[in-house]
Amino acid sequence: MGFIAWVAWFAFPTLLVLGWLREDLSPTVIAAFVMIAVIAWLGIPRLIPYGDTMVTSVLALLDVVLVLLVFKGDVRIT
């Protein structure tokens, strides 16, 4: 697993906690994101050959959606 995959794995729970602390994400939304992530972690590697490499992509997509929800838009880099 590369460095960017570790960033995606670290960012997911961090964004969930940040969204909860800032009250941007309700417990229902947090539960939905966790369920999608668990389904991806458990389901994709068993359904698709070499699907374990796709789990990071699903998690990165969830991270992007969480950034948009928590920060109410894209994060400016410059």
Question: How far apart, in Å, do the first and last CA atoms of the chain sit?
Answer: 28
What is the average per-residue pLDDT within 15-31? 92
Taking only the tens place, the pLDDT of each residue in 38-74 is 998 888 878 888 777 788 888 889 999 999 988 887 6
- Asked whether the predicted pLDDT for residue 1 surpasses 70, the reply is no
Structural domain boundaries in the chain = 3-70
With a cut of 90, say whether residue 33 has pLDDT above it. yes
pTM: 0.81
Give percent of the chain above pLDDT 90. Answer: 35
CA distance 71 to 51: 30
